[in-house]
Each structure stands twice: as C-alpha cells, then as structure tokens.
Structure 1
Amino acid sequence: MSNSSIAKVLGLFVLAFGQMFAGVVHAQTCPQSISVAEKLQGPESGWMAVEQKSTKSLGGVQIIYGKLRHGSETNAILRPDVEKDGEAIWNFSRPIGDEELWMRCFYWGSNISLSKRIEPQVQRCTERWTTSSNSREKKFQVSCQ
C-alpha cells in the first residue's frame, strides 16, 4: 500500500470516527498520596528538632464553586448530590463550560491540600472510600469525568 493510500485511509477513519472521540474526557483524579517534609519555624530554647519526610494518603475532596481563595471559609463548597455508604457524587446538569469549579484534595495528617480547576467538559465527580479492617483510616479514590 502506498503512502498516499495510507493517508487516505487514515483521513477517512478520522472523518468517520473523529466525532465519537471528540467528547471523551480523561478522568481528573486526586493524587493518592503526597510526600511531605515538615519544617519547624523555630526550635524551642534548649530543644533540638528532628525533621523527617513522610508520605500522606488522600483523605477526601471538596468541590468548590467560583474563584478559589486561600482559606476554605471563603470558598463556596458544594454538597454532593448523592451521598451514601462509601460514595459521594456531584452531578452537573451540563458541562460546566466557563464556570469555575475546583477539586481540592486533602491528605491525612497534613495541612497541605492540592487544588486543580475542573475541566470544562466534566459532568460528574465521584469520591469513593473504604475502611481498612486493621485501621480506622479510610482509603479514598476521587475522580471527575
């Protein structure tokens, strides 16, 4: 098969199936864990600080509407549309377009959170969790699609 024939076949494939993949949204997820290095602002007199690195596991998510502000008390936090044992779901009746929606990921035992603007095509965010049998800590998975 010549190069021009291959190009024609590929062109026809794109024309035939391109629209099918045009609306595909890749899942936007919170990182499952983050590496943290704590640092003491100033050691207490007579004490020596030992600073250690640690890994913090995902501990949940908030969906925030509007401009993202530092200090969660000033953000409009959306409640899930559905909340049942082990799952919370936020549904958006249409793609969010130009509206600002953010996902804020929280981590166990840390004051650090990660925030990312939700992509305009997203129509649903889901948070799922399980509780391990040997620990009270919940294990979370979060994604927006």
Structure 2
Amino acid sequence: MMRRAAALVLVLVLLGQAAQATVYPCPPTVTAPYIIHPPAGFMAYEDGNPSTKTNKFITTLKLSGAKFSEGSPEQMTWLMPDAGGAGTGIWNFSEMHDENIWVSCQYQGSWLLLSKALPRGVTQCRETGHAVRCQ
C-alpha cells in the first residue's frame, strides 16, 4: 500500500513538471540570409509587416530581446510587461486573450523580428538579459 502511494505521488509530481515545461521560443542567434528562409515555425517581420527585404550578406545576429503581442505582429497589439526593468521583463498571460499570444524575437544591429504564435497554455514569459523563456 505504501509503495502504491509513493508511486502515485511520483507520477503526480512528474505530470506537474511536464505541465510547467519551459519553452525557449527565440533562437539565441540567427544567420543571414534570414528572410528568405527564417527558422522553422517563424515568420520574418520588419516594423510589424511581413518582410520583403533580403539580406545578401552572411552574418550571425545575436538575440537582443523580445516583445509579445496579442495576435500577429501585423495587428500591432503589443503587450507591456507586468514587471521588470531595463533588459528584463515578465509578461503574465491570462485565458482572457481572444487571440494567440505571439513572441517577436529581436536581433542586435538589425530591423529583424522573427515571430511565431506561442503554444496555447503558456501563462508566463520572462526576458532576462539576452534569453527568453516561457512556461
């Protein structure tokens, strides 16, 4: 009986951890030309519009931050962080959003935004330095 209870507790703990799995939605670096072939699952934007430019130079860009929107970046419904300061931010998402929450990853020295919808069920994202993680 004691073993069954311990096994049940272990299963519940593991299920709870799986439900709160951490997602790192932004690639830490991207290599140009990145507009013609953005990373899988992403769309490339500039100033909230689908990008029409191409970068002919091969270069590696580092992640500089992220912003979040309710719906795609084309809708320009940017969400302000609930907490944070320079270079950091915490966004809490509720079930009240009608649209998917999108992450737009920003890269140093470029106009590039790589954007995609976050999986349903993500309740919080944190930006710290040059890393973004959601759960």
Cα distance, 1:113 vs. partner? Answer: 1.7
- The SS at the match of 2:122 is coil
Native 8 Å contact 1:56 1:109 kept in 2 = yes
> 1:28/1:97 Cα in 2 relative to 1: closer, same or farther (>3 Å)?
farther
User: Where do 5+ consecutive residues of structure 1 fail to align?
Assistant: 1-12, 39-50, 130-139
* Equivalent-residue separation in structure 2 for 1:33 and 1:27 (angstroms): 16
- The SS at the match of 1:106 is strand
Superposed CA RMSD in Å reads 2.9
Amino acid at match of 2:131: Q
Aligned to 2:29: 33
Higher relative contact order (CA 8 A, sep 6+): 2
Q: TM-score of the superposition, structure 1-length normalised? A: 0.60
Decide which moves more: 52-61 or 79-88: 79-88
Q: TM-score of the superposition, structure 2-length normalised? A: 0.64
* Equivalent-residue separation in structure 2 for 1:119 and 1:96 (angstroms): 15
Native 8 Å contact 1:96 1:121 kept in 2 = no
* Equivalent-residue separation in structure 1 for 2:90 and 2:73 (angstroms): 23
State the number of aligned residues.
108
Aligned to 2:3: none
Cα distance, 1:26 vs. partner? Answer: 3.1
Native 8 Å contact 1:96 1:120 kept in 2 = no
Aligned to 1:61: 66
